[in-house]
Amino acid sequence: MRRQRGFTLIEIVVAFALLALGLTLLLGTLSGASRQLRQAGDAGQAALHAQSLLAERSDALLQPGQLDGSFEQGRYRWHLAVTPWQEPQARAAAADPFAARLLHLRLDVRWGDGGPQQQLQVNSLRLVLPTAADGVRP
C-alpha cells in the first residue's frame, strides 16, 4: 500500500499567514487610493466653486473690501479679499483718478478641517475702468 502524503498543519498555518499579509497590504493600498480620490474630488469641486464665485460676483469685485460665504450648506467656506494692486518696484507717482487701475483678488476656499490638503487659494488681477460716477475727464 502506498502511503498518501498531505500538508502538515504548520504548512497550512504559514500559507494562511502569507495570504492574510498579502490581503492586508492590498486593502491598505486600496483605502489610500480611495482617500486620494476623495481629496481630488473635493479639490476639483472647490475649484469649480471658486470659478463660479469669481464669475458671479464680478460687480462686487470692482471695489476693495472683504466678503465671506459658503457653498453646499457650509461644506465649503470662502473668504475673498479685494485690494488695490501695488506694483512691487513701482515709484510713487501722482495717480490719475481717471486711469484704469488693477485690483488684486485673493480667494481662499476651505473644506473639512481646512488643513493643507483641504484648502484652495486663487489669486487674480482685475482691470477696473473708471466709471461715470468717478467723474468725467475735462
Res 93: pLDDT: 58
In this structure, are residues 42 and 118 in contact, taking their beta carbons and an 8 Å threshold? yes
> In a 10 Å sphere around its CB, with 0-12 CB exposed, 13-18 middle and 19+ buried, how is residue 80 labelled?
buried
Res 94: pLDDT: 58
Given a cut of 50, is residue 138 above it in pLDDT?
A: no
Question: Which is higher by pLDDT, 114 or 23?
Answer: 23
pLDDT digits (tens, 9 = 90+) for 44-101: 999 999 999 988 877 666 788 898 999 998 899 999 999 988 877 666 555 666 778 8
pTM of the model: 0.66
The 8-class DSSP code of residue 72 comes to T
Question: Which is higher by pLDDT, 135 or 40?
Answer: 40
Mean pLDDT in the chain? 83
Res 34: pLDDT: 85
Res 117: pLDDT: 73
In this structure, are residues 102 and 84 in contact, taking their beta carbons and an 8 Å threshold? yes
**Span 9-13, mean pLDDT?**
91
Beta strands in 47-97 (DSSP E): 65-71, 76-84
Give 24-54 as a DSSP string: HHHHHHHHHHHHHHHHHHHHHHHHHHHHHHH
**Span 98-123, mean pLDDT?**
86
Res 60: pLDDT: 64
